[in-house]
A and B are shown apart, each in its own frame.
Chain A
Amino acid sequence: MKRKNKILVGWLAFLFVIFHMSCLFIHAAPSQIIPDRYKEKVSAYIDPLFRQNWSLFAPCPVIDGRVKMKINFQKDSIDWHYPFAGDVYWHSIFRGSHHSELALLESHLVFWLGRDLEGMQFAFSEELTGEKLAEFNKGKSYVLYRRYAVGISKKMDKEVVSVELACELKNVKTDEEGTFYLPAMKM
């Protein structure tokens, strides 16, 4: 490469690094530092290749819980059970095994449910009807539990009529406890 061209490409590389780093900085910074209106401006460049969120453990997760499930078939059912119990157990013994991912999956389901309930100001044991139910069904956690229920129903070797999901929750900060029953999901 000719020296002149090399210098030109070198400057372009420098400008690209500045541009890329600035976009990443704006995108990944907390909204308190860089308002969302600026983040939207860089999203066309960032999304989806460089999308990232480093709010790791912030806010601090305080909702513990475990998912339980009942599967209804035409004539019989699999009664309430904890589908992730085995994975959580093996995850506590063998770090780095596939059980860790499934245990994390359960913890993410619990996290998003806790976040929705907090955002909608519902109590852990609240029975949802009418408007509250409609509001809950629009939340992120309902979508995630629904996808999980579909996945479970596809794994069964006979036709599933509905999947019932519940989550035993405990706030480790306030000690509030309760079981939240999601609306039964027809398959």
Chain B
Amino acid sequence: MDKIFTRPFQDMEKISFFRTILYAFLLFNALSLLPIVGDIYAYYGLVGTKGWNTDVPLLKQGTKMFINILSHPANSIYQWVYVIFVVGQIVFLILGLFNIWPRVSAVLIYLFTVNLHMKGYLAFTGGEVLINNVLFYLMFIHHPRDDSWFGDFQNILNNTFYYILLFQVCILYLFSGLFKLYDDAWISGHAIQYISRLSIFESPFTAVFQDNYLLSAIAGYSALAYQLLFPFVVWVKRVKIPFLIFGVIFHLGIAIGMGIFTFGMIMIVVYILFLDTDQIRGIKQRFRKRNRSTQIASP
């Protein structure tokens, strides 16, 4: 069993590609939120704070003190602190994208992002929770520098946190499906019908489900089956790609159709982790070809 963890890490190309796409998406997300950073991240913003137990000494707060900084009462005096986190997140995402100080960037991107997400929690969804977890695991996955003991140790860390990353996504799907099995609306097939009637999710896409039980049941049971099957089917090479394509359509429906954009898109991004290296190379080549043809087309 130890060999699985000590063997040379084979998925660095995949992780590098995944990290690039993830950082690019996070950067887009961070920039799109700039008009409302005060509302969601400031101490006296619209979402309030998660609270800070001042009875517990700082050192006894444990890891919470590192990820709940923006809820500390000192922020009521120094009301500009959240700006450092917003700017820091953007700066280190750019550095991370260009692979400058990758280790430092990975740690600081995690710290800035998790603090911002903790502070603005009421305006966010499970997508941000997944981002927090993924960024944490990515802090430990890097190119081994050399063949010294540190290189070997880095290699073991890479294997370890890569498996945890994959497992994290499977847990998400499995339990998301299992929770639904305990709900009458999902079991009866009405869930999508009810959800599509909520004004926050209204769109031409969801309108078709509002009064159509059959479509609602088909969509609901498909979603349920997909979530429950994901942790098992995603490892089967033959059906993996069509299965993931269904997932991409499913999450585009959530992102664009229902408007839960961050969650839908981040779920599509994590699918990169389940592709083979050859498939990653194929995607990269397609990107390059498209870029080249665009450059040739423009004078």
Q: Report which A residues bind B (CB closer than 8 A).
A: 1, 5-7, 9-11, 13-14, 16-17, 20-21, 24-25, 28-30, 32-33, 47-62, 64, 66, 88, 91-92, 95-98, 100-109, 143-144, 146-148, 150-152, 154, 172-173
Contacts and interface: CB of A to CB of B under 8 A. Distances in A.
B175 A107 contact: no
Given A30-B178, A62-B194, A100-B261, 10 more contacts: A1-B148, A13-B160, A53-B126, A60-B183, A64-B199, A91-B259, A103-B259, A104-B200, A147-B48, A151-B44
Contact of A52 (B3, B133, B265): B133
B199 A150 contact: no
A16 B167 CA distance: 13
A54 B156 contact: no
Contacts of B200: 64, 88, 91, 103-104, 106-107
Contacts of A104: 123-125, 200, 260
Contacts of A13: 2, 5, 156-157, 159-160
B179 A148 contact: no
A101 to B, nearest CB: 4
B163 interface: yes
Contact of A101 (B123, B256, B265): B123
Contacts of A10: 1-6, 156
B11 to A, nearest CB: 15
B171 A92 contact: no
B279 interface: no
Given A48-B63, A101-B33, A173-B194, A95 B164 contact: no
Nearest to A151: B46
B48 A150 contact: yes
Nearest to B28: A96
A81 B67 CA distance: 36
Nearest to A147: B48
Interface in B1-36: 1-6, 28, 32-36
A64 B164 contact: no
A143 B265 CA distance: 31
A25 B47 contact: no
A52 B182 CA distance: 19
Contact of A17 (B45, B153, B160, B198): B160
B240 interface: no
